[in-house]
Each structure stands twice: as C-alpha cells, then as structure tokens.
Amino acid sequence: MKILSIETSCDETAAAIVENGRKVLANVIASQIDLHAKTGGVVPEVAAREHVLKMMPVLEECLQKADCDWDEIEAVAITRGPGLISSLIIGTETASVISYVKNKPLISVQHIVGHIYSNWLYENVTEAEDEPQFPILILTVSGGHNELILMKDHHKFEVLGETLDDAAGEAFDKVARILGLGYPGGPAISKIATSGNKERFKLPKSFLEKGSLNFSFSGLKTAVLNEAKRNEGKINEKFKADLAASFQETVVEVLSEKLLMAAEKFPKIKEIHLAGGVSANKRLREVIEKKLKIFNENFGRKIKFRHPKSFSYCTDNAAMIAAAGYYLYKASPKKFKKKTNITPTTSFEIW
C-alpha cells in the first residue's frame, strides 16, 4: 500500500510516499531555515506564506522521485497537529482537496505520533530491519515537545512523563541565542561543543521529585543566562564552546537517566526508541547506547536501541506521517473510507 503524506506543522514543507508503512519511496523537504535564521526563530505568517509557495513544487517532486502516478496512491495522510495553526491549515486544506479530487481516503496523524514512527522507516533493503517488537519505551525530544512514552502496540500509547516547561530542543534554541550561535540552536551547540570542556561549568540537573519521569529545563536555561551575564565582556569562543558543551552534557545526562529510570520500572520492554529533532544529537545517542549496554549487563536484559536511520527522519518530515498513517489505516480501514475535511489543532491531547 502506497501512501502520500504531507507535513506542514511548522516551517518545513514536506511530502513523502511510503510503501506499507516502512519503505520510503520519496521524501521531499523544502526547508525554511535560512529564511527564519534572519529573525532567530519561526515567524508563523512567514512560514505559512512559504508553504503556499512550496507546496505544489514539493508534491510534484515527490511523485517524480517515487516514480508514481496518482492511480498508484491508495491514501493520503496529513499532520493534523499540534503545530502552528496557519501552517497546519495549508497542509490540511491541500490534503483534503487531493482526497476529494483523487477519491482517496484521508488519514489524520498526530505530529508526535509521526515522530514515533520515524524509527520504522528505511529506504533500501540493506537498511531494512525486522519490525520493532512491543512493548517499546520511547523518548521524544524536540523543540516543542519532550515525552517518555510506553508504546504497547500500534497507536496504543501511555505517556509516562513530559516536559513541565521548556522542551529540550527549545532550551537548545534559547541557549544558542544567548551565546550568539545562530538558529537552529541544536546543530549550532552540538558543533561548537565538540571543542569545549564539558566539565568547566557545573550547571543544575533538574530530576524533580524522586521517581518523577517528567522533565524541566527552564532552570538550566536560566543558569546558562546567568553565566553569560556574569562573564559579560569576557565572552570569547573558548567560553562559548565550554558553556555549550557543559549545557549539552547536562541535558543529555538528564534525558538518559530518566530514560533508564523508566526502563527499570517496566521490565517487559523489548526496545528503546529515540525520536524527534534532538534525536540527531550524536552525544545523546552515544550516551544512551553506552548506558543501555551497562544497564542490559547489570539487569540481564536484551533491550534494543533504535534511532532514525537518517537525519531527515529526525526533523519534521512527511515520511513519518505516512508510516503512522499506514498503521492507523491497517487497524481500521472502514473508518477512512469516507473522505472528510481535517480540522487542524494546536492541542497535544490527541493520544
């Protein structure tokens, strides 16, 4: 089954065609990073206008790359939310029109659920792995969200913990702005941190109350701001690299420790998945892999660790929406026989 999907939750105009929920035939993303770098963040009205301009070229390129015509497409999947409402409207209206004109079922997908399914994707046979085994413990880390989720089966989730204030990705962006490193903050901090001393600054690690699986990074962000203010006039490249490295290490330590706390609480989990924009962070992957190896040895477990195979599946993309949409359709095909308009939403409560 080939599904065409569209993702416009923020500043990426994306379309993809995925076969049977896993094999990516085409994944096209028109980025707006250069445009929003001028303002140091996404301006909703600007993002929406760019979606209008890029939507048709992206769809045409997607069909061409997949070597598909409309007759081969069996359904259309779309991000319903959460996200920027003006951006979501462009995608949902486009998908609704395609569904109506081409007589295709229309499947709406929650954005974070899409990120969860990014670990199911592959592009060629050499990358293909067996399907993940349930139950799965998932850490989603991005600019707008941060959750620990227990996935019991397809589209059966239990939220174990979430951010109480800033998500990790949002903290990366704000700290990058404090240090004058540009936008987006994640890659900028990760790059400069490689030459920094992660031990130089002792920054606060917020684990909250004992046993909590929630996250809080606002205090850490404030601590970085205070360090910058205390050293005003003495901030050089070495200072930036050391503070960036210390900040990144603190975030990674909290995320990885919370993840393993959850793994200990749920002895039946078979896999751990990392998803979302910050899943591209090499240091986070390294630390989780190292700690999980020790954890498995200590507890006699065989938990497998997965993260997206490509950087393009870490950030917002349409392939993940097609994957999530496929398993929704497979579970209840009759539900999607009738074509309907999709109402976009900014709510996270769609689990």
Q: How far is CA 35 from its chain centroid?
A: 21
- Element (DSSP H or E) covering residue 247: helix 237-265
Contact (CB, 8 A) for 131 and 330 = no
- Spatial neighbors of 2 by CB under 8 A, at least 6 apart, are 17, 18, 19, 25, 66, 68, 72, 73, 74
Given a cut of 60, whether residue 351 has pLDDT beyond it is no
Residue 350: pLDDT above 60? no
Q: What is the pLDDT of residues 187-223, one digit of tens each?
A: 999 999 999 999 999 999 999 989 999 999 999 999 9
The answer to whether 61 and 21 are in contact (CB under 8 A) is no
Which tokens sit at 250? 């603190």
Listed range (250-259, 320-329, 332-341) with the worst mean pLDDT: 332-341
- What are the tokens at 243? 């503070």
Residue range 3-31: mean pLDDT, rounded: 96
What's the confidence (pLDDT) of residue 339?
62
* Segment 85-108, tens digit of pLDDT: 999 999 999 999 999 999 999 999
Mean pLDDT on 65-81: 95
Distances (CA, A) of 309 to 279, 290, 312: 10, 18, 9
Residue 345: the pLDDT is 81
Nearest-CA neighbor of 31 among 276, 317, 259? 317
pLDDT at residue 333, rounded to an integer: 85
As separate numbers, helices (DSSP H) first and strands (DSSP E) second, the chain gives: 10, 10
For β-strands 136-141 and 106-110, DSSP reports them as unpaired
Task: Give the containing element (helix H, strand E) for 27.
Answer: strand 23-31
**Secondary structure letter of residue 163 according to DSSP:** B
User: What is the predicted pLDDT for the residue at 25?
Assistant: 97
Report, as an integer, the average pLDDT of 56-71: 96
DSSP 93-140: HHHHHHHHHHT--EEEEEHHHHHHGGGG-BSSGGG--PPP-SSEEEEE
126 or 58, higher pLDDT: 58
- List all residues 6 or more positions away from 141 whose beta carbon is below 8 Å from its beta carbon: 167, 168, 169, 255, 274, 275, 276, 277, 278, 279, 284
**Burial (CB count within 10 angstroms: exposed 0-12, middle 13-18, buried 19+), residue 68:** middle
Q: Give the total residue count for the chain.
A: 351
Per-residue pLDDT band at 348 (split at 50, 70, 90): low
Q: What is the pLDDT of residue 184?
A: 86
Domains in the chain (CATH in brackets) are 2-123+311-336 (3.30.420.40), 136-306 (3.30.420.40)
Nearest-angstrom CA–CA distance, 158 and 161: 9
